[in-house]
Amino acid sequence: MWEGIDIPGDALSLLIIVKLPFPVPDPIGDYERSLCGDMETYKARAIVPDMLVKLKQGFGRLIRSETDTGVCAILDSRAGESGSYRSRVLAALPDCNVTDCVGDVRAFMAAKKPAKFFEWDGK
């Protein structure tokens, strides 16, 4: 779900990213890697920038207008507090609150959404 979808308003209020959207190895990527010489150079020039573009695209599905509010939960430990990609992930996304506390998320959503938003009719 990294591109080509528009879910406006409250229809999308929680985006869960289970893993960072690194590209899947393919023959074109293998060729690009051979041009870079070593894996670290390839990661820095191609893999990480591609992942960050896809991550921004996914995040952009959540907040489409100034009136949209929502939570993006990135569950990949590589973006966590001691994760190797945390600083690059945070730098790529719009300025927003960051937490690892579910209580903070509940409080944020309760402050932003009307009580009716949390009702469920069981269907």
What confidence tens digit (pLDDT) does each residue in 90-104 have? 999 999 999 999 999
The answer on pLDDT for 1 being more than 60 is no
108 contact partners, CB below 8 Å, separation of at least 6: 71, 97
User: What's the rounded Cα separation, in Å, for the pair 105 and 62?
Assistant: 15
- Determine the pLDDT at residue 111: 93
- Determine the pLDDT at residue 123: 66
Give the residue extent of every domain in the chain.
23-114
- Tokens standing for 16? 């869960």
Quote the distance between the C-alpha of residue 83 and its chain's center: 15
Q: Which amino acid is at 43?
A: K
Residue 87 pLDDT level (bands cut at 50, 70, 90): very high
- Determine the pLDDT at residue 55: 95
Is the pLDDT higher at 69 or at 77? 77
In this prediction, residues 109-122 reach a mean pLDDT of 85
The answer on pLDDT for 19 being more than 90 is yes
What is the total residue count of the chain? 123
Residue-wise pLDDT tens digits, 27-75: 988 888 888 888 899 899 889 999 999 999 989 888 888 888 899 999 9
The torsion region of residue 95 among left (phi > 0), alpha (psi -120 to 50) and beta comes to beta
Is the pLDDT higher at 9 or at 32? 32
